[in-house]
Amino acid sequence: MKTSIHSLFIFFIIFFIVLCFFDSTILSFGKKMGEQKAKETHILTIPVPAQGHINPMLQLSKRLASKNLRVTLVTTTSSRFTIQGLAETSSIKIEPISDGFETGVTLQNADEYSKRFRVVFPQSLAKLVEKYECSGCPVKFIVYDSAIPWMLDVARGFGLDGAPFFTQPWAVNAIYYHFHHGKLEFPVKGSVVSLPAMPPLGIDDLPSFISEPGSYPSFLDAVLNQFSNIHEPKWTLCNTFLELEDEVVNFMASKCPIQTIGPTIPSIYLDKRLQDDNDYGLSLFKPMTETCKTWLDSKEINSVVYVSFGSLAALGEEQMEEIAWGLKRSNFFFLWVVREPEFAKLPRNFPEETSEKGLVVSWSPQLEVLAHKSVGCFLTHCGWNSTLEALSLGVPMVAMPQWTDQTTNAKFVEDVWQVGVRVRANEKRIVTREEIEICIKEVMEGERSKNIRRNTEKWKRLAKEAVDEGGSSDKNLEEFVTQLLSS
Ligand code: UDP
């Protein structure tokens, strides 16, 4: 009797070990098959070739590649992006194709550029898709910038499917959506606009293409056109995160399928899960990295105001002068990015005369700057990338919006997320030196400063959690990839 219980026991142990072995073999076989399928799934990602659009698309591409997909980011031969910090071993491939232009898109040539781009780019893309077909790694899917919604038809012409990627927040997209559907029209009536799932908006809080009718008609067309075929794709990816905009995202999710997948900031600043992802990697301008770093290293914690208006904004001479004297009057250290074409607008000898307090550079490694301990606040135009970067790195903002979505972003920075103060322009639409001085002082050391710093810590934590394993953005991306692989 004792012997038979003993043998039964040994039998069960052996049976259990064999079962575990098969189970794990099947599991790892299944995993390997899944990885193999992912590696064979080739996605093209197509940004609008401007710095503020390419950065988020590049980061989305890296995240998709980290889920084992094969990803090729398609740029244009005319945009002279230099590869800065994109490791040679990078998980994604960069493929420039012709857009029929000698030089890239600028504010001055934007209309002509977009007309020509629409004709030439699809032809070049057709050749690329064919090349991949012949070389045995056919394209399965195209993720395109939402500002070029016609790319969905181009993809379908190749027998492929696609999804738009919105590089502006849903607070802004929703306003365009309502305008597109006639809920808002020119001229905007009243002094306060009420839209579903949004705080009351003053006219100045609306995107400038709407608050200033006729200012950039072709850009207005472009942002409204994002919604011309929004019901068609199965996915609508967006560079934001759910916790940041939950009300408007949940409301808009009843209109179209929304996947928030941001913030698209290099992983080292957030979850640190992507190896070697320390920088964006493609840059139109050469950053003065060493100069900025050495200068910042010599300053005390939270003592510097970092100033940048992004890659496109061109301020008037009078406004530049007010900023210059506002910075000087604030008496804080400042690091100011003035792109080369803008340099002539600085007051004469300003960099030399203020060299004790300030450093003027033509382009900075912005993420490194924002992450530096000596930076105490960011005087920003509130471009969406800059805003998300400041939110993700916990840097308080002085919001000085110029145009497009920046006005709405500034409203949210000040009133909704409460991570900064917005400057107000005078009747001549100039932000005076006094106003700049007051706002900088308020953010650096004023009454609201403590609350602002508390909030920046909160959003920094939530941004990291969103992209980290199991966070809202990570889950959305995982789901997108799973659905793509099973379609
Ligand atoms: N940027 C940078 N160095 C600078 C200024 C800006 O690297 O000196 C980067 C910044 O980090 C952001 C992008 O350029 O990712 C600007 O995008 P944003 O949407 O803020 O503004 P835009 O240039 O589109 O107006």
Q: Name residues whose C-beta falls within 8 Å of residue 88's C-beta, 6 or more positions apart in sequence.
A: none
Q: What ligand 1 atom has the least distance to the C-alpha of 387?
A: 20
Domain 40-281+469-486 top-level CATH class? alpha beta
Cα 384 to middle of ligand 1, angstroms: 9
pLDDT of residue 6: 64
Q: Is 302 helix (H, G, I), strand (E, B) or coil?
A: coil
pLDDT of residue 188: 79
Residue 208 to residue 275: CA distance in whole angstroms: 39
Q: What ligand 1 atom has the least distance to the C-alpha of 167?
A: 19
Structural domain boundaries in the chain: 40-281+469-486, 289-463
Q: Is 430 helix (H, G, I), strand (E, B) or coil?
A: coil
Do the beta carbons of residue 162 and residue 155 sit within 8 Å?
yes
Q: Does domain 289-463 have CATH number 3.40.50.2000?
A: yes
pLDDT of residue 213: 85
pTM for this prediction = 0.92
pLDDT of residue 413: 98
What are the counts of helices (DSSP H) followed by strands (DSSP E) for the chain? 17, 17
Do the beta carbons of residue 399 and residue 328 sit within 8 Å?
no
Q: Closest Cα to atom 5, ligand 1: which residue?
A: 310
Query: Which residue type occupies 7?
Result: S
Cα 310 to middle of ligand 1, angstroms: 4
Residue 114 to residue 351: CA distance in whole angstroms: 37
- Please spell the DSSP secondary structure of 108-164, one letter per residue: TTHHHHHHHHHHHHHHHHHHHHHHHHHTT--EEEEEEETT-TTHHHHHHHTT-EEEE
Q: Closest Cα to atom 7, ligand 1: which residue?
A: 366
The verdict on the CB of residue 56 being under 6 Å from ligand 1 is: no
Cα 409 to middle of ligand 1, angstroms: 15
Q: What is the pLDDT of residues 133-154, one digit of tens each?
A: 999 999 999 999 999 999 999 9
- Which residue numbers in the chain have pLDDT < 50? 20
Q: Cα separations (Å) of 176 from 206, 224, 257, 295, 402?
A: 10, 6, 17, 42, 18
Pairing of strands 192-193, 42-46: unpaired
Query: CB 309: neighbour CB atoms within 10 A?
Result: 26
